[in-house]
Amino acid sequence: MFNKRVVIAIGGNSLTPTDNSNWIGSQFKNTRTSIESLIPLVEKGYSVAITHGNGPQVGIALRRVEETRDKLPEVPLGVLVADTEGSMGYMIEQSLQNKLFDKGLKIPVATILTQVLVDKNDPALTNPTKYIGSFYTEEEAKKLAAANGWVVKQDADRGWRRVVGSPKPIDIVNKNIIKQLLDQKNIVIAAGGGGIPVYLDEKRHFEGIDAVIDKDMASALLGNLIGADELYIMTAVNKVSLNFKKPDQKDLDVITMSEADKYLNEGHFPYGSMGPKMKSAIMFLRNGGKRVIITAIDKLVDAIDGKDGTSIIQD
């Protein structure tokens, strides 16, 4: 029997290259570093599903398409999400396989290209809010927006980025096979980049749509559908804070679901930073999850033991 089933949501920025002159090599390096913190959970017998963001990667892929549209066939955003889910899943899968081999752990790893059902009439599709791609100065971003027809917004205090539609995930099309693989003691990488957004047409057939689903919302939904006990959301800070970067900043150790909801409604967690993570945590707990941890990936083991990170628990 497993100790517990968990979903680990790795932020796309954790896997983003830091060396633009060696884009793939640098991404592999950061992926290997990131998965180091996951191995102790596997050694403890956890049933592990891994999700990941792809905002920087899909933004670069989309920019590449736009800058070569006069020379090469265009690739729509929905297909680029599938492309990055495959390429990033491959990097995570291979890095895990190698690390597990070094540890003498004979646990199979599988990447599932995951379709995620959305409502084609979701108003979020016409109100772009999901940040993708590189950071720019305001001047650079507005120049690119004018040249390419982008919508750009300021991403907290980190700079300006492109935004695209981000519909709410309704269902995970591949949920049964993901659960079956986990039940058979495999590690599964799924819902990468929030999954590939699809909707049902008038014939009840799946059809792709150009959007990017928030990976934390998709991770929470996946966790509920596969019976996960806990959801771990990896981010750039060790703990969630009230009044972030203000003189009266207060780091949070353990809060209840109701407290999280209260703080969210009071505006402590903006949409462009901690807001989607906190909404996802509340959704996961309301639908049967037992605990959510939000922390930096290198603090995950300590956070599970209550020594770091922010835990959100049932009331």
Residue pLDDT, tens place only, 259-294: 999 999 998 998 767 999 999 999 999 999 999 999
Within-domain flag for 130: no
Side by side, the strands of the sheet bearing 130-136 are 130-136, 160-164, 151-154
Q: Is 12 a catalytic residue?
A: yes
Q: Is 176 a catalytic residue?
A: no
User: For residue 16, what pLDDT is reported?
Assistant: 79
Q: Are 268 and 248 in contact (CB under 8 A)?
A: no
Within-domain flag for 45: yes
Is residue 221 over pLDDT 70? Answer: yes
CA proximity to 271, closest of 183, 184, 161: 161
Is residue 1 over pLDDT 70? Answer: no
User: For residue 2, what pLDDT is reported?
Assistant: 60
Q: How many domains does the chain have?
A: 1
Percentage, residues of the chain above pLDDT 90: 73
Catalytic, out of 59, 175, 179, 215: 215
pLDDT tens digits, one per residue of 74-104: 898 999 999 999 999 999 999 999 999 999 9
Helix, strand and coil percent figures for the chain, each rounded to 5 = 45, 20, 35
User: For residue 209, what pLDDT is reported?
Assistant: 93
For 117-125, what is the mean pLDDT?
Answer: 95
pLDDT band at 15 (very low <50, low <70, confident <90, very high): confident
Within-domain flag for 183: yes
Distance CA 167, CA 156 (A): 21
Catalytic, out of 12, 53, 133, 289: 12
Within-domain flag for 165: no
Within-domain flag for 81: yes
pTM: 0.91
Catalytic, out of 13, 148, 186, 238: 13
Catalytic, out of 175, 179, 277, 299: 277
Q: Is 44 a catalytic residue?
A: no
User: Residue 274: which domain range?
Assistant: 5-114+170-313
pLDDT tens digits, one per residue of 294-303: 999 999 999 9
Catalytic, out of 54, 89, 130, 194: 130
Within-domain flag for 245: yes
For 247-253, what is the mean pLDDT?
Answer: 92
CATH number at residue 262: 3.40.1160.10
Within-domain flag for 280: yes
User: For residue 173, what pLDDT is reported?
Assistant: 98
Distance CA 198, CA 176 (A): 17
Q: Is 130 a catalytic residue?
A: yes
Q: Is 13 a catalytic residue?
A: yes
CB contact set of 56 (below 8 Å; sequence gap of 6+): 12, 13, 16, 132, 133, 134
Within-domain flag for 120: no
- Mean pLDDT over each residue of the chain, to the nearest integer: 92
